[in-house]
Structure 1
């Protein structure tokens, strides 16, 4: 069983290395990128494998100082990035050529890992409807919500995490090194035990301090602030909006940790948008007359059918399904 799992991981790693080469090749087409997205959407292990291979490839120029005992890699692969495009000579590769290129990325990536492990980022991701808990080397924890991704980089002077997309709860352990979370141009920093919930949507970061306190630094600004526990804030390029929130409100916003969605006065349109984060089966509100209905209740995030049944029984709302299975909500006659 372990051998089969190892073989599968190796196969995914090699596929990821091939995609690293193919996506940056000048001959890469839109269809190739669409095929890559379909490959990556198979699961978080595919995305993580791709991020690792891409990071290794980007740092291969650091290997120029090495003197391998065996075969020396092609000098063009190790040339400084500003002097060449690493994929310029790969146009028109046949299947064997792509395989050889992927093998080079994979092999050099393993060598690079031993050299740059102190500075390289590690990616963690979740698929739609998935949740994941990551325990870091210092016992800090990251809880990832649906369709989310973080890049973690631990070094001597700092613990750095970037929330690339989605939502996460960060539980920082006390350490001499600051625990830094970057999301949509907003930087959060603490050196104490703290729990920080962060959600990214475009260039907006929504931050809730569950415990402890964090220092907030906005990108391209000299404004800094310190936010204590019980504060919820929304940060945009134009600034931040901060308010006090109750423990009950914080718990409702974190219902996703138990696989739930807790509604407390949200509109039907807002509730539908929330359910669509967790499910491939889409729901849409097709009439403005019902989009503003206010809802309250607790629902399982991956059971949109139960949510729709509750809405249609409590309100004058009708649900229909189209040929693709999407649910459309309209006013009932």
Structure 2
């Protein structure tokens, strides 16, 4: 066995061990800090962990684990079945998936001049995920506390992501492009699958399948008219872009397509993200809100991964890793400060 193979096997074993431990429901703050340090040490660690996180999320049944420790040796992979698009509940000590309940349909029909189909606006509540079936056959999985406003015309399909995150599975229609308006960016496709998140300062787009164009223009109509000359990022499966709102800055990166949008499986994962961005997302999945009590701590950058059902543990890990102080005295919120 080569040295590279040995290293890969060690990483895979560590990733499996962390996945089992973090799903055990008994993760300690110092171990969470250790995990975050391991995750941040190498991009390969993050990719390996996401594979096993997805496997754990796909489980239909697992045996009772009892006390779980992080061990250097491999952890046997449990039996699994392919993920169906319904909430999965793990047994015993595995508290993983976010509960999915019916979403709320609000507002009146939104339409543009010449529209052939008027869809309502759709909004989810805290800790709520919902599939939205659009009139053209496209499906939007709407993340927690998120809102979209579709507006279809005879020549265009337009969806405005007002807040939050959504995963788009767009029905192919080459003669009627599909646009997503988010932040100060436009996303153009004709049929593909991709994830979009609007944060406080950035827009993130990750592509699972097909080709996606990310550009800046006043309106989809303007973008379509000048599409051949307008500057844009062209993304394909496995590509992602993080674009800063209010500027032309955009950072390109890579993802594993099969592991995109882990929030659909009850996990939030980040690489070199600001604490403000992470907290903004976490607060969409937890009724116990995290409050940043001091200016500047939101700028802390970190790599992290945690279950949406274990956000308290994430906060505890911040105390160990970054020396922050968490006040849990109010049952409705966690207040983080620098001292």
Q: Which residue of 2 aligns with 1:40?
A: none
Q: Give the equivalent residue in structure 2 for 1:190.
A: 189
> Which aligned pairs between 1:81-230 and structure 2 lie closer than 5 A?
118-176=116-174, 177-191=176-190, 193-201=191-199, 205-220=203-218, 223-229=230-236, 230=239
Instruction: Tell me, yes or no, if the aligned pair for 2:103 and 2:130 is still in contact at 8 Å.
Output: no
Residue aligning to 2:243: 234
Normalised TM-score (structure 1): 0.55
Change (3 A) 1:140 1:318: same
Instruction: Please name the residue that 2:267 is paired with.
Output: 260
Deviation at 1:289, TM superposition (A): 9.3
1:119 CA drift (Å): 3.7
> Quick one: structure 1 residues 165 and 272, their matched pair in 2 at CA, closer, same or farther if it must change by over 3 Å?
closer
CA shift at 1:132, angstroms? 1.1
Distance 1:130 1:236 in 2: 26
Residue 98 (structure 2) aligns with:
none
Secondary structure of 2:263's aligned partner: helix
Per the alignment, residue 307 of structure 2 pairs with: 300
TM-score, with normalisation over the residues of structure 2? 0.55
1:244 aligns with 2:242: no
Distance 1:151 1:289 in 2: 34
Could you tell me how far 1:148 is from its partner in structure 2? Answer: 1.0
Q: How many residues align?
A: 226
Structure 1 residue 234: deviation in Å? 0.8
Q: Is the 1:209–1:227 Cα contact (8 Å) retained in structure 2? A: no
Structure with greater proportional helix content? 1
- Which segments of 5 or more consecutive residues in structure 2 lack a partner in the other structure? 1-101
Question: How far apart are the structure 2 equivalents of 1:263 and 1:200?
Answer: 14
Is the CA contact 2:164–2:198 (under 8 Å) kept in the aligned structure 1?
yes
The answer to whether the Cα contact below 8 Å between 2:204 and 2:240 also exists between their aligned partners in 1 is no
Quote how far apart the aligned CAs of 1:301 are: 1.6
Residue ranges of structure 1 left out of the alignment (5+ in a row): 1-42, 63-115
SS of equivalent residue, structure 1 residue 51: strand
Q: Tell me the secondary structure at the aligned position of residue 210 of structure 1.
A: strand
1:117 Cα deviation (Å)? 8.2
Whole-angstrom distance in 2 between the partners of 1:49 and 1:318: 39
C-alpha distance in 1, partners of 2:309/2:325? 21
Match of 2:107, SS? helix
- Tell me, in whole angstroms, the C-alpha distance in 1 between the residues paired with 2:246 and 2:159: 20
Q: 1:168-195: per-residue Cα shift (whole Å, max 9, x none)?
A: 111212223222222234222222x322
**Structure-1 residue corresponding to 2:289:** 282
In the TM superposition, what is the alpha-carbon distance from 1:284 to its structure 2 partner? 2.9
